[in-house]
Structure 1
Protein backbone atom coordinates (compact mmCIF):
# COMPACT_ATOMS: atom_id res chain seq x y z
CA UNK A 1 0.00 0.00 0.00
CA UNK A 2 2.82 2.33 0.90
CA UNK A 3 4.53 1.40 -2.34
CA UNK A 4 1.40 2.24 -4.35
CA UNK A 5 0.88 5.52 -2.49
CA UNK A 6 4.45 6.51 -3.08
CA UNK A 7 3.75 6.65 -6.78
CA UNK A 8 1.11 9.35 -6.26
CA UNK A 9 2.95 11.47 -3.77
CA UNK A 10 5.02 14.31 -5.26
CA UNK A 11 7.39 16.63 -3.60
CA UNK A 12 7.11 20.40 -3.94
CA UNK A 13 9.37 20.63 -6.98
CA UNK A 14 7.46 17.90 -8.84
CA UNK A 15 4.12 19.53 -8.01
CA UNK A 16 5.38 22.84 -9.41
CA UNK A 17 6.49 21.08 -12.58
CA UNK A 18 3.11 19.43 -13.05
CA UNK A 19 1.33 22.76 -12.45
CA UNK A 20 3.38 24.57 -15.08
CA UNK A 21 2.91 21.65 -17.50
CA UNK A 22 -0.86 21.85 -17.11
CA UNK A 23 -0.74 25.64 -17.50
CA UNK A 24 1.32 25.23 -20.66
CA UNK A 25 -1.16 22.71 -22.10
CA UNK A 26 -4.09 25.02 -21.34
CA UNK A 27 -2.30 27.92 -23.04
CA UNK A 28 -1.61 25.85 -26.17
CA UNK A 29 -5.19 24.63 -26.31
CA UNK A 30 -6.50 28.18 -25.96
CA UNK A 31 -4.20 29.39 -28.72
CA UNK A 32 -5.31 26.61 -31.07
CA UNK A 33 -8.98 27.29 -30.35
CA UNK A 34 -8.53 31.01 -30.95
CA UNK A 35 -6.77 30.46 -34.25
CA UNK A 36 -9.41 27.95 -35.37
CA UNK A 37 -12.19 30.35 -34.43
CA UNK A 38 -10.47 33.26 -36.16
CA UNK A 39 -9.89 31.20 -39.33
CA UNK A 40 -13.51 30.04 -39.39
CA UNK A 41 -14.66 33.61 -38.83
CA UNK A 42 -12.45 34.82 -41.71
CA UNK A 43 -13.84 32.14 -44.03
CA UNK A 44 -17.38 33.06 -43.10
CA UNK A 45 -16.65 36.76 -43.59
CA UNK A 46 -15.08 36.12 -46.99
CA UNK A 47 -18.10 34.02 -48.01
CA UNK A 48 -20.52 36.71 -46.85
CA UNK A 49 -18.59 39.38 -48.74
CA UNK A 50 -18.61 37.26 -51.92
CA UNK A 51 -22.34 36.61 -51.54
CA UNK A 52 -23.02 40.30 -50.98
CA UNK A 53 -20.95 41.19 -54.05
CA UNK A 54 -22.85 38.63 -56.12
CA UNK A 55 -26.19 40.05 -55.00
CA UNK A 56 -25.04 43.55 -55.92
CA UNK A 57 -23.99 42.31 -59.36
CA UNK A 58 -27.37 40.67 -59.88
CA UNK A 59 -29.12 43.87 -58.90
CA UNK A 60 -27.01 45.88 -61.31
CA UNK A 61 -27.70 43.35 -64.06
CA UNK A 62 -31.41 43.52 -63.34
CA UNK A 63 -31.33 47.31 -63.60
CA UNK A 64 -29.40 47.14 -66.89
CA UNK A 65 -31.86 44.60 -68.30
CA UNK A 66 -34.79 46.75 -67.30
CA UNK A 67 -33.21 49.77 -68.97
CA UNK A 68 -32.39 47.77 -72.13
CA UNK A 69 -35.92 46.38 -72.33
CA UNK A 70 -37.87 49.51 -71.64
CA UNK A 71 -36.68 51.98 -74.20
CA UNK A 72 -38.59 53.02 -77.29
CA UNK A 73 -38.63 50.35 -79.99
CA UNK A 74 -40.52 49.27 -83.08
CA UNK A 75 -42.72 46.27 -82.10
CA UNK A 76 -42.59 45.03 -85.68
CA UNK A 77 -39.00 43.90 -85.13
CA UNK A 78 -38.82 42.41 -81.64
CA UNK A 79 -36.90 39.21 -80.95
CA UNK A 80 -37.91 36.18 -78.89
CA UNK A 81 -35.87 37.47 -75.97
CA UNK A 82 -37.39 40.94 -76.17
CA UNK A 83 -40.90 39.47 -76.31
CA UNK A 84 -40.14 37.29 -73.28
CA UNK A 85 -38.66 40.25 -71.41
CA UNK A 86 -41.79 42.28 -72.09
CA UNK A 87 -43.90 39.55 -70.48
CA UNK A 88 -45.37 38.00 -73.65
CA UNK A 89 -45.99 34.27 -73.68
CA UNK A 90 -45.01 31.90 -76.49
CA UNK A 91 -48.41 31.91 -78.21
CA UNK A 92 -48.58 35.71 -78.30
CA UNK A 93 -45.06 35.88 -79.71
CA UNK A 94 -45.82 33.23 -82.35
CA UNK A 95 -48.91 35.14 -83.49
CA UNK A 96 -46.80 38.27 -83.97
CA UNK A 97 -44.11 36.41 -85.93
CA UNK A 98 -46.74 34.70 -88.10
CA UNK A 99 -48.29 38.10 -88.87
CA UNK A 100 -44.89 39.57 -89.82
CA UNK A 101 -43.99 36.57 -91.98
CA UNK A 102 -46.85 37.55 -94.25
CA UNK A 103 -45.11 40.85 -94.98
CA UNK A 104 -47.58 42.86 -92.89
CA UNK A 105 -46.76 45.62 -90.41
CA UNK A 106 -48.22 46.90 -87.16
CA UNK A 107 -49.13 50.58 -87.22
CA UNK A 108 -50.51 51.14 -83.72
CA UNK A 109 -50.75 49.72 -80.21
CA UNK A 110 -54.28 48.60 -81.06
CA UNK A 111 -52.90 46.58 -83.98
CA UNK A 112 -50.35 45.03 -81.64
CA UNK A 113 -53.02 43.84 -79.20
CA UNK A 114 -55.31 42.69 -81.99
CA UNK A 115 -52.59 40.52 -83.54
CA UNK A 116 -50.89 39.18 -80.40
CA UNK A 117 -53.85 39.02 -78.02
CA UNK A 118 -51.93 40.49 -75.07
CA UNK A 119 -53.93 41.60 -72.03
CA UNK A 120 -55.00 45.19 -71.45
CA UNK A 121 -52.76 45.43 -68.39
CA UNK A 122 -49.64 44.30 -70.30
CA UNK A 123 -50.45 46.58 -73.23
CA UNK A 124 -50.86 49.51 -70.87
CA UNK A 125 -47.44 48.79 -69.39
CA UNK A 126 -45.45 48.39 -72.61
CA UNK A 127 -47.29 50.46 -75.23
CA UNK A 128 -45.75 53.80 -74.09
CA UNK A 129 -42.44 52.44 -75.38
CA UNK A 130 -43.76 51.58 -78.86
CA UNK A 131 -42.31 53.59 -81.71
CA UNK A 132 -43.94 53.32 -85.12
CA UNK A 133 -42.23 54.93 -88.14
CA UNK A 134 -44.06 57.75 -89.84
CA UNK A 135 -45.48 56.71 -93.17
CA UNK A 136 -44.45 58.93 -96.08
CA UNK A 137 -46.80 59.74 -98.86
CA UNK A 138 -46.30 56.84 -101.28
CA UNK A 139 -47.01 58.93 -104.35
CA UNK A 140 -44.50 61.64 -103.51
CA UNK A 141 -41.93 59.03 -102.44
CA UNK A 142 -42.41 57.21 -105.73
CA UNK A 143 -41.97 60.42 -107.73
CA UNK A 144 -38.84 61.28 -105.75
CA UNK A 145 -37.44 57.81 -106.41
CA UNK A 146 -38.09 58.10 -110.12
CA UNK A 147 -36.40 61.50 -110.22
CA UNK A 148 -33.45 60.08 -108.39
CA UNK A 149 -33.15 57.16 -110.80
CA UNK A 150 -33.08 59.34 -113.93
CA UNK A 151 -29.50 59.40 -115.22
CA UNK A 152 -28.56 61.25 -118.36
CA UNK A 153 -26.58 58.81 -120.49
CA UNK A 154 -23.92 60.28 -122.75
CA UNK A 155 -22.48 58.96 -125.99
CA UNK A 156 -19.46 56.72 -125.46
CA UNK A 157 -18.12 57.88 -128.82
CA UNK A 158 -18.25 61.55 -127.82
CA UNK A 159 -17.14 61.40 -124.18
CA UNK A 160 -13.89 63.04 -123.14
CA UNK A 161 -11.21 61.59 -120.87
CA UNK A 162 -12.05 64.06 -118.09
CA UNK A 163 -15.66 62.87 -118.06
CA UNK A 164 -14.58 59.23 -117.91
CA UNK A 165 -12.51 60.03 -114.83
CA UNK A 166 -15.72 60.75 -112.91
CA UNK A 167 -16.35 57.01 -112.89
CA UNK A 168 -15.03 55.27 -109.78
CA UNK A 169 -12.13 53.07 -110.87
CA UNK A 170 -11.25 55.11 -113.96
CA UNK A 171 -8.22 57.28 -113.44
CA UNK A 172 -6.07 59.33 -115.79
CA UNK A 173 -4.32 56.37 -117.43
CA UNK A 174 -7.45 54.27 -117.95
CA UNK A 175 -9.45 57.19 -119.31
CA UNK A 176 -6.70 57.90 -121.84
CA UNK A 177 -6.49 54.20 -122.69
CA UNK A 178 -10.25 54.09 -123.41
CA UNK A 179 -9.97 57.08 -125.75
CA UNK A 180 -6.92 55.56 -127.45
CA UNK A 181 -8.69 52.22 -127.98
CA UNK A 182 -11.76 54.01 -129.32
CA UNK A 183 -9.61 55.80 -131.87
CA UNK A 184 -7.93 52.52 -132.83
CA UNK A 185 -11.32 50.92 -133.51
CA UNK A 186 -12.52 53.94 -135.42
CA UNK A 187 -15.19 54.34 -132.76
CA UNK A 188 -17.15 51.97 -130.55
CA UNK A 189 -19.83 50.05 -132.42
CA UNK A 190 -20.90 47.93 -129.43
CA UNK A 191 -21.07 48.64 -125.69
CA UNK A 192 -19.35 45.29 -125.12
CA UNK A 193 -16.18 46.55 -126.81
CA UNK A 194 -15.45 48.48 -123.62
CA UNK A 195 -14.57 45.14 -121.99
CA UNK A 196 -11.67 44.85 -124.44
CA UNK A 197 -9.81 47.83 -122.97
CA UNK A 198 -6.73 46.47 -121.21
CA UNK A 199 -6.79 46.84 -117.43
CA UNK A 200 -10.47 47.83 -117.22
CA UNK A 201 -12.13 45.54 -114.69
CA UNK A 202 -15.60 44.14 -115.27
CA UNK A 203 -17.21 46.09 -112.43
CA UNK A 204 -15.65 49.33 -113.68
CA UNK A 205 -17.03 48.66 -117.17
CA UNK A 206 -20.49 48.12 -115.69
CA UNK A 207 -20.28 51.40 -113.77
CA UNK A 208 -19.10 53.19 -116.92
CA UNK A 209 -21.99 51.84 -118.98
CA UNK A 210 -24.44 53.30 -116.48
CA UNK A 211 -23.42 56.76 -117.71
CA UNK A 212 -21.92 56.21 -121.15
CA UNK A 213 -23.17 54.03 -124.02
CA UNK A 214 -22.88 53.81 -127.79
CA UNK A 215 -25.57 56.22 -128.93
CA UNK A 216 -24.16 57.00 -132.36
CA UNK A 217 -22.46 54.46 -134.62
CA UNK A 218 -19.05 55.37 -136.00
CA UNK A 219 -18.55 55.87 -139.73
CA UNK A 220 -16.28 52.96 -140.58
CA UNK A 221 -15.25 52.46 -144.18
CA UNK A 222 -15.67 48.74 -144.71
CA UNK A 223 -13.36 46.78 -147.01
CA UNK A 224 -14.54 44.21 -149.55
CA UNK A 225 -13.61 40.80 -148.16
CA UNK A 226 -13.32 39.36 -151.69
CA UNK A 227 -10.81 41.91 -152.92
CA UNK A 228 -8.86 43.06 -149.89
CA UNK A 229 -5.17 42.15 -149.80
CA UNK A 230 -3.35 40.23 -147.11
CA UNK A 231 -1.47 43.35 -146.07
CA UNK A 232 -4.61 45.47 -145.74
CA UNK A 233 -6.35 42.72 -143.77
CA UNK A 234 -3.63 42.83 -141.12
CA UNK A 235 -4.25 46.53 -140.57
CA UNK A 236 -7.86 45.94 -139.45
CA UNK A 237 -8.79 45.55 -135.80
CA UNK A 238 -9.30 41.97 -134.54
CA UNK A 239 -7.28 40.50 -137.45
CA UNK A 240 -3.65 39.54 -136.95
CA UNK A 241 -1.30 38.14 -139.59
CA UNK A 242 -2.31 34.51 -138.98
CA UNK A 243 -6.02 35.37 -139.16
CA UNK A 244 -5.45 37.27 -142.41
CA UNK A 245 -3.65 34.28 -143.96
CA UNK A 246 -6.54 31.98 -143.03
CA UNK A 247 -9.10 34.34 -144.60
CA UNK A 248 -7.11 34.68 -147.84
CA UNK A 249 -6.59 30.88 -147.96
CA UNK A 250 -10.30 30.26 -147.39
CA UNK A 251 -11.24 32.75 -150.09
CA UNK A 252 -8.77 31.21 -152.54
CA UNK A 253 -10.12 27.73 -151.84
CA UNK A 254 -13.76 28.59 -152.52
CA UNK A 255 -13.19 31.37 -155.04
CA UNK A 256 -15.53 33.76 -153.31
CA UNK A 257 -17.00 34.48 -149.89
CA UNK A 258 -20.74 35.15 -150.05
CA UNK A 259 -21.39 35.82 -146.38
CA UNK A 260 -19.28 36.88 -143.43
CA UNK A 261 -20.83 33.97 -141.52
CA UNK A 262 -18.98 31.57 -143.83
CA UNK A 263 -15.87 32.42 -141.82
CA UNK A 264 -17.21 30.15 -139.05
CA UNK A 265 -15.79 27.29 -141.12
CA UNK A 266 -12.30 28.60 -140.40
CA UNK A 267 -10.69 26.97 -137.38
CA UNK A 268 -10.59 29.10 -134.20
CA UNK A 269 -12.92 31.75 -135.64
CA UNK A 270 -15.60 32.14 -132.97
CA UNK A 271 -18.99 33.78 -133.54
CA UNK A 272 -17.87 36.74 -131.42
CA UNK A 273 -14.69 37.18 -133.45
CA UNK A 274 -16.62 37.06 -136.72
CA UNK A 275 -19.08 39.66 -135.39
CA UNK A 276 -16.17 41.97 -134.66
CA UNK A 277 -14.54 41.31 -138.07
CA UNK A 278 -17.89 42.03 -139.72
CA UNK A 279 -17.66 45.59 -138.47
CA UNK A 280 -14.79 46.21 -140.95
CA UNK A 281 -15.54 43.88 -143.87
CA UNK A 282 -18.39 43.72 -146.36
CA UNK A 283 -19.57 41.55 -149.24
CA UNK A 284 -19.80 43.12 -152.73
Structure 2
Protein backbone atom coordinates (compact mmCIF):
# COMPACT_ATOMS: atom_id res chain seq x y z
CA UNK A 1 0.00 0.00 0.00
CA UNK A 2 1.38 3.38 -0.93
CA UNK A 3 1.37 5.77 2.03
CA UNK A 4 3.12 8.53 0.20
CA UNK A 5 -0.27 9.82 -0.89
CA UNK A 6 -1.30 10.46 2.77
CA UNK A 7 2.06 11.84 3.83
CA UNK A 8 1.26 15.32 2.67
CA UNK A 9 -1.79 15.35 4.95
CA UNK A 10 0.26 14.27 8.00
CA UNK A 11 2.95 16.88 7.62
CA UNK A 12 2.59 19.71 10.19
CA UNK A 13 4.54 22.85 10.75
CA UNK A 14 6.25 23.68 14.01
CA UNK A 15 3.42 25.96 15.13
CA UNK A 16 0.75 23.40 14.23
CA UNK A 17 2.50 20.71 16.27
CA UNK A 18 2.73 23.12 19.23
CA UNK A 19 -0.99 23.91 18.92
CA UNK A 20 -1.93 20.23 18.87
CA UNK A 21 0.20 19.62 21.95
CA UNK A 22 -1.39 22.53 23.84
CA UNK A 23 -4.90 21.31 22.89
CA UNK A 24 -4.03 17.82 24.11
CA UNK A 25 -2.77 19.22 27.44
CA UNK A 26 -5.96 21.28 27.86
CA UNK A 27 -8.12 18.18 27.29
CA UNK A 28 -6.08 16.20 29.85
CA UNK A 29 -6.36 19.00 32.45
CA UNK A 30 -10.12 19.31 31.94
CA UNK A 31 -10.60 15.56 32.29
CA UNK A 32 -8.53 15.48 35.48
CA UNK A 33 -10.47 18.42 36.91
CA UNK A 34 -13.77 16.73 36.10
CA UNK A 35 -12.50 13.49 37.67
CA UNK A 36 -11.27 14.87 40.98
CA UNK A 37 -13.37 18.01 41.52
CA UNK A 38 -16.29 17.87 44.04
CA UNK A 39 -19.43 19.13 42.34
CA UNK A 40 -21.79 18.42 45.25
CA UNK A 41 -23.73 21.51 46.37
CA UNK A 42 -23.25 22.31 50.01
CA UNK A 43 -26.67 23.27 51.36
CA UNK A 44 -26.55 26.10 53.82
CA UNK A 45 -28.53 25.49 56.95
CA UNK A 46 -30.98 28.30 57.51
CA UNK A 47 -32.38 28.90 61.04
CA UNK A 48 -35.75 29.85 59.54
CA UNK A 49 -35.86 26.67 57.49
CA UNK A 50 -35.06 24.58 60.56
CA UNK A 51 -37.84 26.35 62.44
CA UNK A 52 -40.37 25.67 59.69
CA UNK A 53 -39.35 22.00 59.52
CA UNK A 54 -39.86 21.66 63.28
CA UNK A 55 -43.24 23.37 62.97
CA UNK A 56 -44.27 21.06 60.12
CA UNK A 57 -43.38 18.02 62.21
CA UNK A 58 -45.61 19.35 65.02
CA UNK A 59 -48.46 19.86 62.54
CA UNK A 60 -48.06 16.33 61.21
CA UNK A 61 -48.11 14.99 64.76
CA UNK A 62 -51.32 16.92 65.57
CA UNK A 63 -52.96 15.58 62.40
CA UNK A 64 -52.04 12.04 63.39
CA UNK A 65 -53.47 12.49 66.89
CA UNK A 66 -56.62 14.11 65.49
CA UNK A 67 -57.08 11.26 63.04
CA UNK A 68 -56.87 8.75 65.88
CA UNK A 69 -59.53 10.51 67.95
CA UNK A 70 -62.88 8.81 68.00
CA UNK A 71 -65.84 10.94 66.82
CA UNK A 72 -67.94 12.50 69.56
CA UNK A 73 -71.33 10.82 69.92
CA UNK A 74 -74.17 13.15 70.93
CA UNK A 75 -77.25 11.82 72.69
CA UNK A 76 -80.69 13.00 71.57
CA UNK A 77 -84.34 12.85 72.55
CA UNK A 78 -86.03 10.36 70.17
CA UNK A 79 -89.31 12.31 70.41
CA UNK A 80 -87.83 14.96 68.11
CA UNK A 81 -86.34 12.78 65.37
CA UNK A 82 -86.74 14.47 61.98
CA UNK A 83 -87.16 12.72 58.63
CA UNK A 84 -83.47 13.16 57.84
CA UNK A 85 -82.34 12.06 61.30
CA UNK A 86 -84.51 8.95 61.12
CA UNK A 87 -83.14 8.13 57.68
CA UNK A 88 -79.56 8.45 58.96
CA UNK A 89 -80.38 6.12 61.86
CA UNK A 90 -81.66 3.47 59.44
CA UNK A 91 -85.41 3.86 59.99
CA UNK A 92 -87.84 3.30 57.14
CA UNK A 93 -90.29 5.95 55.92
CA UNK A 94 -93.20 4.08 57.49
CA UNK A 95 -91.46 3.89 60.88
CA UNK A 96 -90.69 7.61 60.83
CA UNK A 97 -94.27 8.44 59.82
CA UNK A 98 -95.63 6.41 62.76
CA UNK A 99 -93.52 8.44 65.17
CA UNK A 100 -94.54 11.76 63.60
CA UNK A 101 -98.22 10.79 63.70
CA UNK A 102 -97.84 9.83 67.36
CA UNK A 103 -96.21 13.20 68.12
CA UNK A 104 -98.97 15.11 66.32
CA UNK A 105 -101.31 13.82 69.02
CA UNK A 106 -99.06 15.66 71.50
CA UNK A 107 -97.84 12.37 72.97
CA UNK A 108 -94.31 11.44 73.95
CA UNK A 109 -92.37 8.19 74.18
CA UNK A 110 -90.59 7.85 77.50
CA UNK A 111 -88.48 4.73 76.97
CA UNK A 112 -86.76 2.71 74.27
CA UNK A 113 -89.48 0.06 74.57
CA UNK A 114 -92.23 2.64 73.96
CA UNK A 115 -90.26 3.97 70.99
CA UNK A 116 -90.16 0.48 69.45
CA UNK A 117 -93.87 -0.05 70.18
CA UNK A 118 -94.82 3.20 68.43
CA UNK A 119 -92.47 2.96 65.43
CA UNK A 120 -92.36 -0.80 64.99
CA UNK A 121 -88.58 -0.92 64.43
CA UNK A 122 -86.76 -4.23 64.65
CA UNK A 123 -84.94 -5.45 67.77
CA UNK A 124 -81.58 -5.21 66.03
CA UNK A 125 -82.11 -1.56 65.07
CA UNK A 126 -83.39 -0.76 68.56
CA UNK A 127 -80.26 -2.29 70.13
CA UNK A 128 -78.15 -0.18 67.77
CA UNK A 129 -79.74 3.22 68.34
CA UNK A 130 -81.24 3.00 71.86
CA UNK A 131 -77.86 3.75 73.56
CA UNK A 132 -78.07 7.17 71.86
CA UNK A 133 -81.44 8.01 73.40
CA UNK A 134 -81.60 10.65 76.12
CA UNK A 135 -84.89 11.28 77.86
CA UNK A 136 -85.60 14.21 80.24
CA UNK A 137 -84.47 13.87 83.84
CA UNK A 138 -88.02 13.48 85.11
CA UNK A 139 -88.46 10.43 82.85
CA UNK A 140 -85.18 8.84 83.92
CA UNK A 141 -86.06 9.36 87.57
CA UNK A 142 -89.66 8.27 87.22
CA UNK A 143 -89.24 5.72 90.02
CA UNK A 144 -88.35 8.51 92.41
CA UNK A 145 -91.42 10.43 91.29
CA UNK A 146 -93.64 7.43 91.99
CA UNK A 147 -92.32 7.16 95.53
CA UNK A 148 -92.94 10.85 96.01
CA UNK A 149 -96.53 10.48 94.76
CA UNK A 150 -97.20 7.99 97.54
CA UNK A 151 -96.61 10.76 100.03
CA UNK A 152 -98.72 13.26 98.08
CA UNK A 153 -101.72 13.00 100.38
CA UNK A 154 -99.63 13.50 103.49
CA UNK A 155 -97.70 16.57 102.30
CA UNK A 156 -99.20 20.04 102.46
CA UNK A 157 -98.15 21.84 99.29
CA UNK A 158 -98.17 25.62 99.05
CA UNK A 159 -100.45 27.34 96.61
CA UNK A 160 -99.29 26.92 93.00
CA UNK A 161 -97.12 29.83 91.92
CA UNK A 162 -97.81 31.29 88.49
CA UNK A 163 -94.91 30.70 86.12
CA UNK A 164 -93.02 33.89 85.29
CA UNK A 165 -93.02 34.81 81.60
CA UNK A 166 -89.61 36.07 80.47
CA UNK A 167 -88.67 38.56 77.77
CA UNK A 168 -87.26 36.60 74.83
CA UNK A 169 -84.86 39.46 74.08
CA UNK A 170 -83.37 39.13 77.59
CA UNK A 171 -83.33 35.31 77.69
CA UNK A 172 -80.02 33.51 78.16
CA UNK A 173 -79.07 30.18 76.68
CA UNK A 174 -79.80 28.55 80.04
CA UNK A 175 -83.31 30.06 80.06
CA UNK A 176 -84.02 28.70 76.58
CA UNK A 177 -82.69 25.23 77.38
CA UNK A 178 -85.27 24.88 80.16
CA UNK A 179 -87.92 24.49 77.44
CA UNK A 180 -88.70 20.86 76.64
CA UNK A 181 -87.20 20.00 73.26
CA UNK A 182 -84.55 22.78 73.19
CA UNK A 183 -80.93 21.84 73.64
CA UNK A 184 -77.64 23.62 73.17
CA UNK A 185 -77.88 23.68 69.37
CA UNK A 186 -81.39 25.13 69.08
CA UNK A 187 -80.81 27.67 71.86
CA UNK A 188 -77.68 28.86 70.03
CA UNK A 189 -79.68 29.28 66.80
CA UNK A 190 -82.34 31.36 68.59
CA UNK A 191 -79.71 33.68 70.09
CA UNK A 192 -77.93 33.94 66.73
CA UNK A 193 -81.19 34.88 65.01
CA UNK A 194 -81.81 37.57 67.63
CA UNK A 195 -78.30 38.92 67.00
CA UNK A 196 -78.93 39.08 63.24
CA UNK A 197 -82.25 40.89 63.67
CA UNK A 198 -81.02 43.21 66.42
CA UNK A 199 -83.90 42.00 68.56
CA UNK A 200 -87.16 40.07 68.21
CA UNK A 201 -90.33 42.09 67.70
CA UNK A 202 -92.76 39.15 67.65
CA UNK A 203 -92.83 35.61 68.98
CA UNK A 204 -93.97 34.56 65.49
CA UNK A 205 -90.33 35.04 64.47
CA UNK A 206 -89.56 31.74 66.18
CA UNK A 207 -90.92 30.15 62.99
CA UNK A 208 -87.90 31.61 61.16
CA UNK A 209 -85.48 29.63 63.34
CA UNK A 210 -84.59 26.43 61.53
CA UNK A 211 -85.21 23.20 63.46
CA UNK A 212 -87.94 24.39 65.86
CA UNK A 213 -90.98 22.13 65.72
CA UNK A 214 -94.49 23.60 66.12
CA UNK A 215 -94.72 22.02 69.59
CA UNK A 216 -91.50 23.67 70.74
CA UNK A 217 -92.63 27.03 69.28
CA UNK A 218 -95.86 26.76 71.28
CA UNK A 219 -93.82 26.07 74.42
CA UNK A 220 -91.69 29.14 73.73
CA UNK A 221 -94.78 31.30 73.26
CA UNK A 222 -96.11 30.02 76.59
CA UNK A 223 -92.99 30.84 78.58
CA UNK A 224 -91.69 33.93 76.75
CA UNK A 225 -92.98 37.23 75.43
CA UNK A 226 -91.49 40.06 73.38
CA UNK A 227 -90.58 43.41 74.86
CA UNK A 228 -89.18 45.62 72.10
CA UNK A 229 -86.19 47.51 73.54
CA UNK A 230 -86.07 51.27 73.22
CA UNK A 231 -82.57 50.93 71.76
CA UNK A 232 -83.88 49.25 68.59
CA UNK A 233 -82.45 51.17 65.65
CA UNK A 234 -85.16 51.30 63.01
CA UNK A 235 -84.53 51.67 59.29
CA UNK A 236 -85.85 54.83 57.67
CA UNK A 237 -87.14 53.32 54.45
CA UNK A 238 -87.28 56.74 52.75
CA UNK A 239 -83.64 57.66 53.50
CA UNK A 240 -81.85 54.32 53.66
CA UNK A 241 -79.39 53.51 50.91
CA UNK A 242 -79.54 50.44 48.71
CA UNK A 243 -76.80 48.82 50.81
CA UNK A 244 -78.61 49.48 54.09
CA UNK A 245 -81.89 48.08 52.75
CA UNK A 246 -80.25 44.98 51.27
CA UNK A 247 -78.61 44.21 54.64
CA UNK A 248 -82.02 44.00 56.32
CA UNK A 249 -82.70 40.24 56.73
CA UNK A 250 -86.24 40.42 55.34
CA UNK A 251 -85.14 42.27 52.17
CA UNK A 252 -83.14 40.62 49.42
CA UNK A 253 -80.95 42.73 47.15
CA UNK A 254 -83.45 42.59 44.27
CA UNK A 255 -86.28 43.77 46.53
CA UNK A 256 -84.12 46.53 48.03
CA UNK A 257 -83.30 47.74 44.52
CA UNK A 258 -87.00 47.83 43.62
CA UNK A 259 -87.74 49.84 46.78
CA UNK A 260 -85.11 52.44 45.88
CA UNK A 261 -86.38 52.61 42.30
CA UNK A 262 -90.03 52.92 43.37
CA UNK A 263 -89.08 55.61 45.90
CA UNK A 264 -87.22 57.69 43.32
CA UNK A 265 -90.10 57.50 40.84
CA UNK A 266 -93.12 57.84 43.15
CA UNK A 267 -91.84 59.69 46.20
CA UNK A 268 -91.61 58.64 49.84
CA UNK A 269 -93.45 55.75 51.45
CA UNK A 270 -96.06 56.66 54.05
CA UNK A 271 -96.77 53.28 55.60
CA UNK A 272 -96.30 49.53 55.21
CA UNK A 273 -99.26 49.38 52.81
CA UNK A 274 -97.35 51.53 50.31
CA UNK A 275 -94.35 49.27 50.69
CA UNK A 276 -96.45 46.15 50.17
CA UNK A 277 -97.36 47.29 46.66
CA UNK A 278 -93.85 46.45 45.45
CA UNK A 279 -93.52 43.19 43.56
CA UNK A 280 -92.13 40.23 45.55
CA UNK A 281 -92.58 42.03 48.87
CA UNK A 282 -93.09 39.39 51.63
CA UNK A 283 -96.64 40.41 52.50
CA UNK A 284 -97.03 37.59 55.03
CA UNK A 285 -94.23 39.22 57.07
CA UNK A 286 -95.51 42.78 56.64
CA UNK A 287 -96.65 43.18 60.24
CA UNK A 288 -93.27 42.07 61.60
CA UNK A 289 -91.29 44.07 59.03
CA UNK A 290 -93.22 47.25 59.85
CA UNK A 291 -91.89 47.15 63.42
CA UNK A 292 -88.33 47.48 62.11
CA UNK A 293 -89.09 50.43 59.83
CA UNK A 294 -89.87 54.11 60.11
CA UNK A 295 -91.03 56.62 57.50
Q: TM-score range by the shorter chain?
A: 0.3 to 0.5
When normalised by structure 2's length, the TM-score is 0.44
Higher helix share: 1
When normalised by structure 1's length, the TM-score is 0.45
Question: Of the two, which has the highest radius of gyration?
Answer: 1
